[in-house]
Structure 1
Amino acid sequence: MAGVACVVTIFVPPGTARTSVAMLGKFATTIAFAIVYIFTVEQYPTSVRNVALGFCATFGRIGSIVAPLVLLMGDYYAALPYFVCGICSTSSGIMALFLSETMGTQLPENIDDDENEDNEKDLDSGQVNNDDETNTTDVESESN
């Protein structure tokens, strides 16, 4: 929604309507930024959750540092900052659709739990994990 509002702002004439659409985009961006912190911690096992959140927050803050530079693009083409922010917001929203759903699931406590869960998903989907077969073959050839 934030990305769409940013792109639509390009086509709305200056005035109250443009300010309203831009504020709607800002509102959606603020909500998304708050939700990212909650969603991030659910994606990682407990043993690495703090490190993962810190890593993601660092890149979020780097984005905050770079954001004023995007505004300077308006010196070359007035609509460019809106377009860049809109494309970034829309693409990140689309990519978020591919993240796993955590509602009603047991969150992994450590990395091994997370890897075992991934292996079970592979078995359910009919995929074969070649890593396990390679490791077994390597052990057998070393023992001979």
Structure 2
Amino acid sequence: MIARRISQAIQRRLAADRAVALIGPRQSGKTTLAKPLPGSYFDLEQEADRLGLDLQWIDLLLDSGKERWAVGIQLTSHPGENDMNRLSRVAQTVGASRSFLVSQTRESAEGKGRAWCNLPWLIEWPEQEFAHPKR
């Protein structure tokens, strides 16, 4: 893996905060950054990972603080009361409204509608830390 300066910023933030959310466009390296970190990793776009978690998975993410990562939360097109309760709890934890978290909808590979919730970006860094190197 290519060493990335943002990895150090993520690790510093994770040491200080309950949770760090990685968001970005598809194929931008979010999973590559998250997988080497200590703790558990859940890829919620993978059917096996989703099936392996019960209704209390968000409690695991929130209660374990620094040991868990959530890149996103996927809900069915008709979320139930438990889904909305979990989403409200995430919103309270990261300081955002539930409507802010539900940022877009898209079709899944199976043709089913999904609501995709991106968590707010929680990493702050000095501008020069990620400037392109001079050639």
TM-score by length of 1: 0.20
User: Looking at CA atoms only, which structure, 1 or 2, has the larger radius of gyration?
Assistant: 1
- Structure 1 or 2: more helix by fraction: 1
- Structure 1 or 2: more strand by fraction: 2
TM-score by length of 2: 0.21
